[in-house]
Amino acid sequence: MTWIDRLIDDYYRFLRQKTVITELPSSGWIEISTPFTDVFNDTIEIYAKKSNGKIILSDDGQTLKNLELSGVEISRSQNRKEMLERILLNYGVRLEDKELLAEATESTFPQKKLNLLAAISEANDLYVLAKHTVAGLFREDVKAYLDEQGLVYTPYFLSKGSTGLEFTFDFQIAYRQTELLIKAFNTINKLNLPHFLFTWDDVKQVREKQTEKKVIGLAVINNEDREVKDEYLEALQNKGAEFILWTERNRPENIKKLKAA
């Protein structure tokens, strides 16, 4: 077992240990406090309630409220509204009176909870639009980079892994013998790196059987005005994943990583 394998195991133990459940008897809702953080670095909390044989999951309207407090009012921009709609559609989450909602059964609860948290996390990224010096999200920069190379890709690629859970990758590129699953990292850390490596490995096991192609995980990492720790790059290499540092994206060896056979 390598150090990154231990790190991934520690990551999932950390998630369970840092998830706090609080019953709210007067309302029938149960508060689930997660280790993930919002735009103000507060923990993200979601709520669950049984109703008519279903489990309703909600963010209690906190996601859009935080965006408004940070200067991003979704309703005032058609572009922002469309970006939020794409995020919610991708994860099967609906918007109702500024509240993000998902419905689950007991069997689908793990996937639906994961989808709601992913939708909240991606919606939180919209706060950078409040900074006038920021032209767009890093994912959009990566999309433009792929377009520059004349590549045909599938954005927001959804695939089921061996665990039965479905995961979304920012881009997928299919070639005759290989398939690229791409994640754009605006920042990379000890939370999102193990998550990427786990999801890629989980999906890889299924996709390689289905397509009879080699499935490659590729991390495109924003290193402009920030340093990427060597240990993160070593972890990617140790697990067999590829990476491209954004400032080095036009090097021939990195262009080659995008154009597998």
DSSP for 108-175, please give it. THHHHHHHHHHHHHHHHGGGGGGSTT--S-HHHHHHHHHHHTT---EEEEEEE-TTS-EEEEEEEEE-
**How confident is the model at residue 130, as a pLDDT?**
56
Q: Is the pLDDT of residue 132 over 70?
A: no
| Rounded CA separation 31/24 (Å) | 7
Is the Cβ–Cβ distance between 167 and 199 less than 8 Å?
Answer: yes
> Sorting pLDDT into bands at 50, 70 and 90, what band is 128?
low
> Sorting pLDDT into bands at 50, 70 and 90, what band is 137?
low
**Residue 92 token pair:** 């099967």
**How confident is the model at residue 224, as a pLDDT?**
85
**How confident is the model at residue 196, as a pLDDT?**
92
* Tens-digit pLDDT profile for residues 245-255: 999 999 999 99
pTM over 0.85? The answer is no
| Rounded CA separation 122/26 (Å) | 31
Domain boundaries defined on the chain: 19-130, 138-258
| Among 73, 52, 59, 53, residue whose Cα is nearest residue 31 | 59
Strands ordered across the beta sheet of 43-51? 20-24, 29-37, 43-51, 54-58, 99-104, 94-96
* Tens-digit pLDDT profile for residues 81-121: 888 999 999 999 999 999 999 999 999 999 999 999 999 99
Contacts of 252 (CB under 8 A, 6+ apart): none
Give the chain's mean pLDDT: 89
Q: Is the pLDDT of residue 26 over 50?
A: yes
Q: Is the pLDDT of residue 131 over 60?
A: no
Q: Is the pLDDT of residue 191 over 90?
A: no
107-146 b/e (C-beta count within 10 Å ≥ 16 → b)? eeeebbbbbbbbbbbbbbbbbbbeeeeeeebbbebbbebb
Amino acid at residue number 94: R
> Sorting pLDDT into bands at 50, 70 and 90, what band is 136?
very low
Q: Mean per-residue pLDDT for 28-36?
A: 94
**How confident is the model at residue 135, as a pLDDT?**
34
Q: Mean per-residue pLDDT for 37-55?
A: 90
Q: Is the pLDDT of residue 260 over 50?
A: yes
40-65 b/e (C-beta count within 10 Å ≥ 16 → b)? eeeebbbbbeeeeeebbbbbeebbbe
Task: Indicate the CATH number of 138-258 among 3.30.420.10, 3.40.1350.10, 3.20.20.80, 3.30.2320.30.
Answer: 3.40.1350.10
| Rounded CA separation 88/100 (Å) | 8
Q: Is the pLDDT of residue 46 over 60?
A: yes
If one compares 53 and 39, the residue with the highest pLDDT of the two is: 53
| Rounded CA separation 216/240 (Å) | 8
How many C-beta atoms lie closer than 10 Å to residue 35's C-beta? 15
Q: Mean per-residue pLDDT for 53-67?
A: 94
- Tell me the torsion sign for CA atoms 69, 73, 75, 79: negative
